[in-house]
Amino acid sequence: NRQIRLARRPVGVVRPEDWASTEEPVPSPPEGWFLGRTRYLSVDPAMRGWLDDRPSYLPPVGIGEVMRAGSVLEVVESAHPGYRVGEFVTGTFGVQEYALSDGSGAHRVDPGLAPLPTYLGALGMPGMTAYFGLLEVGALREGETVVVSGAAGAVGSLVGQIAKVKGCRVVGIAGGADKCAWLTGELGFDAAIDHRSEDVRRALRDHAPDGIDVYFDNVGGPILDAALSRLALHARVVVCGAISQYNNEGAVQGPSNYLALLVRRARMEGFVVFDYAARYRDAARELAGWLADGRLTAREHLVKGGVDDFPATLQLLFDGANTGKLVLELA
């Protein structure tokens, strides 16, 4: 059972030496447990935060521990009355080839209803994040102008599409012409801004002339500053994440123009998706309905490899190399 463990706490960008690849015998499930083989591993920006020893919404991953990760397991051996060999479950089972579970935190998923990787994307944590972040925290109303950063990523691509379902005008901010073309083409965004080649502040003036009602922020940094400068009256700024700041060696760069909140009588609110766990089932049902009737497109960026490819795959997020939900598919 090959596993990726945290060898030491990274400083800034995560380096190969921060990880250890270890091997131990594949365990047998005791009574009341099952053994699952990892088929798909979720690779998430939040993982960077879990490596730091500082107070957060989850305890840090300990030195020497198997790296925390969500995944899809296939049940390969079962001594649990509720799980049969050949079934699939999602849960937080870590970066390892096999995992034991007593069923707690395991959710059965049906590959007949959606492709398995989609349960790590649109029908999984990113889907829940987009849904509750936009509709609850953002308190979205029909006809509003929504701007989302990290727009071609797992969460952002869903945020924009949900806003379109709700009858809003949607502007996405993403890195690169291909991503922008995907947003305004297949996903039906009204406009896209390439933060690598365009002046975001000026582009927002063109694409959101009446101001931004909801800004859904996945990246922080200078793009957050630019969005704050274009808020409409009573705007909501949803603080979902700030990936541009996760590898900082020093302090997080805060907005230099937060007084825009005062002038525009706006609010800025953070959230953690886990707080909505009691309502995931309802949200997943609605998202699945939109997937089925074609109003929502789920895209996963699959990297094929072994658990040893996890460190390099994680880095892809910070290089902006993924379009859609980044997933490591284990051979």
Residues that bind ligand NDP (CB under 6 A): 44-46, 125-126, 129, 150, 152-156, 174-176, 179, 195, 218-219, 221, 223, 240-244, 271-273, 317-318, 320, 322, 326
* 39/74 Cα distance (integer angstroms): 7
Closest approach of Cβ 108 to ligand NDP, in Å? 22
Q: Hey, is 21 helix, strand or coil? A: strand
Residue located via tokens 């005008």: 169
Nearer to ligand NDP, 155 or 287 (CB): 155
CB of 81 to ligand NDP, least distance (A): 33
Structure letter (DSSP) for residue 244: G
What whole-number distance in Å separates Cα of residue 201 and Cα of residue 225? 9
* C-beta closer to ligand NDP: residue 49 or 211: 49
Q: How far apart are CA 66 and CA 191, in angstroms?
A: 42
Residue whose C-alpha is closest to residue 327's, from 115, 56, 120: 120
Nearest distance from C-beta of residue 39 to ligand NDP, angstroms: 19
Total residues found in the chain within this entry: 331
Q: Least distance in Å: CB of 224 to ligand NDP? A: 10
Report the residue number, 29 or 124, with the smaller CB distance to ligand NDP.
124
CA 123/CA 114 separation, integer angstroms: 9
Q: Which is nearer to ligand NDP, 73 or 326 (CB)?
A: 326
| Cα–Cα distance measured from residue 35 to residue 26, given in angstroms and rounded to the nearest whole number | 9
* In the complex, least distance from residue 126 CB atom to ligand NDP, rounded to whole angstroms: 5
- Closest CB to ligand NDP among residues 46, 75: 46
- Nearest one of 167, 175, 106, 105 to 140, comparing CA atoms: 167
Residue 21 pairs with which residues in a beta bridge?
4
Could you tell me the smallest distance in angstroms from the CB atom of residue 139 to ligand NDP? 16
**Helix, coil or strand: residue 97:** coil
Phi, psi torsion values for 283, nearest 5 degrees: -65, -45
Rounded CA gap, 67 and 64, in Å? 9
Closer of 125 and 162 to ligand NDP (Cβ): 125
Cβ of 189: how many Cβ atoms within 10 Å?
A: 26
Between 100 and 226, whose beta carbon lies closer to ligand NDP?
Answer: 226
State the nearest-atom distance from the C-beta of 177 to ligand NDP, in Å: 11
